[in-house]
A and B are shown apart, each in its own frame.
Chain A
Amino acid sequence: MSEPLVTTEKLCKWYGKVVGINDFTVTIPQGVTGLLGPNGAGKSTFIKLLIGALRPSKGTLRVLGERVWGNRLLLARIGYCPEHDGIYEDLTGTEFVAAMARLSGTPAAASRKLARETLEQLGLGAAADRRLGEYSKGMRQRAKLAQAMVHDPEVLLLDEPLTGCDPLARAQITQRIKELGKAGKAVLVSSHILHEVESMTPEILLVYKGQVLAEGNIYRIREMIDEHPHKIRVACDQPRVLAQQLIVSPDVHSVHFEQEGELVLETRNPDGCYPLIPKLALESGLKIRALTSPDNNLQAVFDYLTRERGPEGVAKAAVKAAGGGAP
C-alpha cells in the first residue's frame, strides 16, 4: 500500500494572534486531490506548511511519510507552484525554469533542455526566450507551473495554478494535471473556484476558516450531509401529475417547480426515492426525460458546509463530514 501523500495530526499554524489553520487532522491519499475553500480559508498556509516554508505552531505533519521542516531530501521530491508571482522579471522564461531545475539538482545542460521542453508543453515555447517581465498574468502562471514540473517531482503542490489563465489554458492545464495524476504523480491543487477542482478530481479537502470541513470523495461527502434534504430534479411530460403522486410518499420531504416541464423534490432518503420515481411514472404512463441531482456537485456541498451558520455550525459540519463513518 502506497504511503499517503500527507498525514497531519492536530496541525495548527498561528500568525501571532491570527489563526492560519487550526486543528487540521487529515490524511490525503496519492493521486489528484483538490484543496478547496474560499479566499482566506487557509489553503496557502497549508501548502506552505507542506513544503516547509512555514513551521507548524503545533501538531504533526508528514509528507510521503517524512517530516517536512528542514528536510531537504524531501523537497527534492516536491514541485511547488506558489500563488504569488515573485518571479525575477529580468530572467527569460527558459533561464528562470532552468535555474529552478538546477536548484533541484538537475545538471546545467539538462536543465536548459528540460526547461524548454516544459515551457513548450505549457504553450510557452514561442515566449521561452522573452523576459518574464514581458509575460502576461496567464503566461507567468504557466511559467510558475513549468518550474514546479521541470525536475519531474513525485509530488506537485499547486497553489491556485489556474489564476489569470484564459479559459482555453485553464482547460488544458486541468487536462495536464489529470494526466500527471494518471502518470503516478501525487498532486494537491488548491482553488477557490469549485468547478475547476471538480473537473480535475472527485477527491477533495474542503477547508473553511482554517478548519477542515470535509475530506474524501465529493459524492460520498454529499451523502454524509444528512441535515439537508437531497434534491432530485425530474424532467417529464406532466410534472404536476408526478408531483401529486410523489408528495404522498413518506420519503418525499417537498416538491416544487423550477422550470417548465421539470420538478424538484427533496428527500431524506434518496436510496428509497430513486426507484420510486420511475415506478410511479410507469404506473401513471408518464414519460421521464431526465433524472438528475443538483446536489451531486461541489458547489452544493460547499454551500451546505459553509452556509452562514457561525463558528458552531461550521464546527458541527466539520465533525460530521470529517468523522467519516456516520452518515
Chain B
Amino acid sequence: MTIRDLGYKRYDGPRLPHRSRYRVLIGRTLSLAWASGLVKTAMILGMFPMVVCGVVIFFKVKAMQMIASQPMAAAAAGIKLDDASSWVFYCVYWCQLWFAFAMSVLVAAPAVSDDVRTGAFQFYFARPISRNHYLVGKMVPVGLLITIVCAAPGLALVLLRLGLCKTGAEAMKVLPMLGSTILYTLVYAATLALPPVALSALSRRSGTMQGAWAALFFFPWVLGEGMAAATGVSYAALVSIPTNLRLLGQYLYGMEPSYAIPWYYPAAVLAALLVGSAAVLLHRLDKVEVFT
C-alpha cells in the first residue's frame, strides 16, 4: 500500500457555523446506541405492555360503554364510565419502568464515560465544539431513546382511549389525561436520563457507572419502602427515585397516592435530583481534561 502524491489542495468551500456541530454528535450517539442488540431488544419488548394494556383498555371501555348506555343498569351496578387512567398509569409506571431503566443503564450511564475510555474525547475536544455542544449532542439522543420507551406507550394508550370516545363530553373528560401523560413521561424520562449521564461523567469506567446507577436506583427504593413500612414514617420513602415517580404519577392521574405525602414533596425531590445532576454534569464537562 502506497501513499499517492495528489499534492496539497486548499479547501475553499463553505464552513458551517459552530452551532451546527451538535448534530454530528447526536447522529453518532444515536447510531452507536442503535448498534446495540440490547437496546433494540429493550425498545421492542418495551412495546408489549402497551399492547396488553391497550387490549384491556379496549375491552374495558367497550364494556363500560355498553353498560353506561343503559343508565338504569349502570346506576344499579354502581358503574361509571372512567377515562382508564389507572391502566395508563399502570402501563407507564409499572411496566415501562423496567424497560426505561434498562435503556438508561445501556445508553445513559455509559454515555460520557465511554467517550473518555475509548479516547473519543481527544477527537471531539480538539475540534471547535464546546462542552455545551457535546452536552446537547449526548443528552438529546439519550433523552429521545428513553422518552420513546417511557412516553410512546402511554401516549398511544391515551390516544386509543380518546379514539374510543363516543361523545364529545366523554372526549373532554379523557382529554386532560393527554396533558398529564405528556408531563409525567417527560419528567419520567428526564429522571431516567439526566442522573445516569451525570454519573457517567464522573468516571471513565462505564461498567462501574452502570452499576452505580443501578445501585442508586434500587438500593434507596428497597431501603425507603422498607423504612416507611417498618417505622410508619412515610416520608422515608422519598429517598427512592421510583417511589417519587410513582407518587407524582398517582397525583397527576388523579389516583389515591401510596403514601399520604403532598404532591410537592416528590416533585421537589425529583426537581432537586435533576438540577443537581445537571450541575454535576456541567461542572464535570467544564473541567474535563483529556488524559488518554
Contacts and interface: CB of A to CB of B under 8 A. Distances in A.
B44 to A, nearest CB: 21
A256 interface: no
B3 A172 contact: yes
Contacts of A172: 2-3, 5
Contacts of A63: none
B12 to A, nearest CB: 9
A106 B11 contact: yes
A151 interface: yes
Contacts of B2: 123, 168-169, 172
Max chain B Cβ within 10 angstroms of own Cβ: one of A52, A82, A168: A82
Max chain B Cβ within 10 angstroms of own Cβ: one of A73, A75, A124, A168: A75
A73 B24 CA distance: 18
A254 to B, nearest CB: 46
A88 B120 contact: yes
Interface in B112-126: 118-126
A103 B292 contact: no
Contacts of B127: 75-76, 100, 103-104
Contacts of B292: 82, 84, 86
A117 B7 CA distance: 11
A173 B1 CA distance: 13
A105 B11 contact: no
A75 B213 CA distance: 34
B161 to A, nearest CB: 42
A23 B1 CA distance: 43
B3 A54 contact: no
Contacts of B76: none
A176 interface: yes
A117 B8 CA distance: 11
Nearest to B116: A86
Interface string A178-199: 0110010000000000000000
Given A110-B13, A114-B11, A86 B118 contact: yes
Contacts of A53: 121-122, 125-126, 289-290
Nearest to B120: A86
A46 interface: no
Nearest to B124: A103
Contact of B3 (A104, A105, A123): A123
Interface string B196-235: 0000000000000000000000000000000000000000
Contacts of B120: 86, 88
A323 interface: no
B130 interface: yes
Interface in B1-29: 1-11, 13-18, 20-21, 24-25, 28
A247 B28 CA distance: 71
For this complex, into which size category does the number of interface residues on chain B fall? 35 or more
Interface string A112-127: 0010010011111111
A78 interface: yes
A142 B1 CA distance: 12
B48 to A, nearest CB: 29
A70 B6 CA distance: 35
A180 B8 CA distance: 7
A81 to B, nearest CB: 9
A85 interface: yes
Interface string A73-93: 111101010101111101000
Interface string A217-255: 000000000000000000000000000000000000000
A75 B3 contact: no
A21 interface: no
B3 A110 contact: no
B165 interface: no
Nearest to A69: B289
A77 to B, nearest CB: 9
A198 B7 CA distance: 22
B216 to A, nearest CB: 28
A58 B130 CA distance: 23
Nearest to A126: B1
A104 B128 contact: yes
A86 B123 contact: yes
A110 B14 contact: yes
B122 A75 contact: no
A289 to B, nearest CB: 36
Max chain B Cβ within 10 angstroms of own Cβ: one of A107, A127, A173, A180: A107
Across the A-B interface, the 7 shortest Cβ-Cβ residue pairs? A86-B119, A53-B290, A152-B11, A172-B3, A80-B126, A76-B128, A123-B3
30 contacts: A15-B291, A48-B290, A51-B125, A52-B125, A52-B126, A53-B125, A53-B290, A54-B289, A54-B291, A80-B122, A87-B119, A88-B118, A100-B123, A102-B16, A103-B21, A103-B128, A105-B16, A105-B20, A105-B128, A110-B14, A117-B6, A121-B3, A122-B3, A123-B3, A123-B4, A126-B1, A127-B1, A172-B5, A179-B7, A180-B8
Interface of A: 15, 48, 51-55, 70, 72-76, 78, 80, 82, 84-88, 90, 99-100, 102-107, 110, 114, 117, 120-127, 139, 142, 147, 151-152, 168-169, 172-173, 175-176, 179-180, 183
Given A110-B13, A121-B4, 19 more contacts: A48-B122, A51-B125, A53-B121, A53-B289, A72-B128, A74-B128, A80-B126, A84-B119, A103-B24, A105-B128, A107-B13, A107-B14, A124-B1, A125-B4, A142-B3, A172-B5, A176-B3, A179-B7, A183-B10
